Amino acid sequence: MGEPQGSMRILVTGGSGLVGKAIQKVVADGAGLPGEDWVFVSSKDADLTDAAQTRALFEKVRPTHVIHLAAMVGGLFRNIKYNLDFWRNNVHINDNVLHSAFEVGACKVVSCLSTCIFPDKTTYPIDETMIHNGPPHSSNFGYSYAKRMIDVQNRAYFQQYGCTFTAVIPTNVFGPHDNFNIEDGHVLPGLIHKVHLAKSSGSALTVWGTGKPRRQFIYSLDLAQLFIWVLREYNEVEPIILSVGEEDEVSIKEAAEAVVEAMDFHGEVTFDTTKSDGQFKKTASNSKLRTYLPDFRFTPFKQAVKETCAWFTDNYEQARK
């Protein structure tokens, strides 16, 4: 690959995942600009835990910009068991990507954090200034600290070299191409898969927990649009929360009801209260986003759920589950 044709060559790591696929779709549907050359890579292209492979990838692609989505991720139970692997693999991936980007002269890197990395003991709503104000929840401390250290490393690149390496902090993302595995995946794709199975077998839908915990959900296609805006326009090193507002927080019960409605499920809905609820809430403020983009309109939750359910039903065979 030679020099980028226009002004930007954007390398997207983790390009085959939930968020990567959403960015691909949004770009393919016309969000790309003339002069932008988008390159999506996945683990098939390089093992990012390996410094030499990562460096070779960056020297081949020679990006001017990077959206860094690749990570070792997992559900609650896998995290609890493998904190060392989640810490080391993610630290290696992140250092390899950030430093390779730096060494090939990329002028901007946008990484992806998560609201689950915030301090376990905190006030609400959480905001961008609070990331390091105390230890994260102990269940996934390896993953959480590795993500937090992206922010530390970003600030270090800025302090020592003036680079604009930054990060976004989405709340609960959902959409097509998610991991719909009931054991390992997140709550919304888990509910969608469960309803699908309940419909097929004529059984009840069993929601884990009381249904009372509250979450802010962001549709992957909305997140993709915001990611592209951050890449082009957001020039702070401090991260930015990308989320619907606090007023759009819903309970797990309400989320389950949206899935039931979208998939036209008429069976019984029960709550298995022996299962853990997880964190009661993680309410995040999107004030910073609203200062920049007061008019950005999120896809209404029920519509986004309906589209995701339809995708799952249409793509059941190939879906990750």
Active-site residues: which are they? 143
The neighbouring-strand residues paired with 208 are 272
Q: Does 199 bind its own copies (CB under 8 A)?
A: no
For its own copies, the binding residue among 38, 40, 58, 141 (CB under 8 A) is 141
155 vs 253, beta carbon nearer its own copies: 155
Please tell me the count of residues contacting its own copies according to CB under 8 A.
26
Q: Which stretch binds its own copies (CB under 8 A): 37-45, 145-153, 239-247, 301-309?
A: 145-153
- Write the binding mask 66 to 105 for its own copies: x where contact by CB under 8 A, - elsewhere: ---------------xxxxx-xx--x---x---x------
| Cβ nearer to its own copies, comparing 123 with 133 | 133
Nearer to its own copies, 156 or 182 (CB): 156
Q: Using the minimum distance from each CB to its own copies, give the nearer residue, 158 or 292.
A: 158
Residue 156 in the binding site for its own copies (CB under 8 A): yes
Residues 161-190, one symbol each (x = binds its own copies by CB under 8 A, - = not), give x-----------------------------
128 counts as binding its own copies under rule CB under 8 A: no
Residues of this chain, 206-235, that bind its own copies according to CB under 8 A: none
Q: Which residues bind its own copies (CB under 8 A)?
A: 81-85, 87-88, 91, 95, 99, 132-135, 141-142, 145, 149, 152-153, 155-157, 159-161
